[in-house]
């Protein structure tokens, strides 16, 4: 029997209820509604038993959509929502409000990779809000795609040592570019020295640039390096549905992660990476 997986990176969107600025003008398959019932039948094919929903818009409507979905689907165990981090007072009020009415809010994320300022996270108001998250034992997901984003994450980890952080998609390793991969490895190694930074094995098919033709061999070294640096207590997995539909689909993605992790770790550590670490990090 394969080990059950907690998928820590599932998106849903409803184009009527929520505004997704990054989807404006998108002509891909992503430009439609994606709701939990569509993903659910695929979970059993790869023994995914539970999931965490992750924000897809910098607004509270998106968070409300996810919190509502969690109350109606017992396989959804947590939500990584959004708060206006540039406004600490509103951040505090929203978190208190949601925590009083709903047990599913586990983390926060902001689409920092869409901000013109690569150091958006390092603004004084944002840091003040991140300290509020730490006080409430709420985690923070960093969706970085550049070296500057990873360096900002390292700075935050140093400034707020009691804030648990996770690098979504391993901060997008530049897989097609070997010289840039060397820099990524150096920065990942530095990040891993901070015990409050975790690594999310997700979104890597997109990082290959080979959407149709990628294989597990293309992402294997990135995953193995992350596990080597962060250790088996600070890595966990995410399928990145429905974005993963652009690159071979959900089942192919999860199967690739499973194969690589099964081949490089003993069963006791596979259990950590597949489910135990996720449950601990997000307090599921």
209 DSSP 8-state letter: S
Backbone φ and ψ of 237, nearest 5° = -115, 155
Write out the two tokens for 114: 């869409």
DSSP string, 114-182: GSS-TTGGGSHHHHHHHHHHHHTT-EEEE---SHHHHHHHHHHHHH-TTS-EEEGGGG---TT-HHHHH
DSSP string, 242-271: TGGGGGT-HHHHHHHHHHHHHHHS-HHHHH
pTM over 0.85: yes
**pLDDT, tens digit only, all 284 positions of the chain:** 799 999 999 999 999 999 999 999 998 999 999 999 999 999 999 999 999 999 999 999 999 999 999 999 999 999 999 999 999 999 999 999 998 888 999 999 999 999 999 999 999 999 999 999 999 999 999 999 999 999 999 999 999 999 999 999 999 999 999 999 999 999 999 999 999 999 999 999 999 999 889 999 999 999 999 999 999 999 999 999 999 999 999 999 999 999 999 999 999 999 999 999 999 999 99
């Amino acid at each position: 029997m394969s080990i059950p997986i907690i998928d820590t990176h599932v998106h849903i969107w409803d184009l009527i209820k929520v505004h997704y600025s990054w989807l404006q003008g998108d002509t891909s398959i992503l430009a439609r509604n994606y709701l939990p019932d569509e993903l659910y039948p695929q979970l059993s094919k790869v023994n995914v038993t539970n999931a965490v929903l992750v924000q897809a818009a910098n607004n509270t409507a998106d968070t409300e959509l996810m919190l509502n979905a969690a109350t109606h689907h017992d396989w959804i165990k947590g939500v990584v929502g959004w708060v206006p981090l540039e406004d600490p007072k509103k951040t505090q009020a929203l978190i208190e409000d949601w925590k009083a009415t709903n047990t599913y809010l586990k983390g926060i994320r902001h689409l920092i990779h869409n901000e013109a300022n690569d150091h958006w996270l390092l603004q004084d108001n944002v840091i003040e809000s991140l300290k509020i998250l730490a006080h409430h034992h709420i985690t923070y997901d960093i969706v970085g795609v550049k070296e500057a984003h990873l360096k900002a994450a390292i700075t935050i980890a140093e400034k707020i040592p009691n804030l648990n952080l996770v690098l979504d998609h391993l901060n997008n390793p530049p897989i097609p570019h070997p010289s840039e991969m060397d820099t990524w490895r150096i920065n990942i190694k530095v990040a891993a020295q901070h015990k409050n930074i975790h690594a999310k094995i997700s979104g890597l098919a997109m990082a290959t640039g080979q959407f149709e033709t990628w294989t597990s061999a293309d992402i294997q070294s990135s995953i193995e390096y992350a596990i080597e640096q962060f250790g088996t207590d600070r890595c966990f997995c995410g399928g990145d549905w429905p974005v993963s539909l652009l690159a071979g689909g959900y089942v192919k993605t999860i199967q690739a992660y499973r194969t690589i992790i099964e081949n490089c770790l003993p069963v006791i550590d596979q259990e950590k990476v597949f489910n135990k670490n996720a449950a601990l990090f997000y307090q599921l």
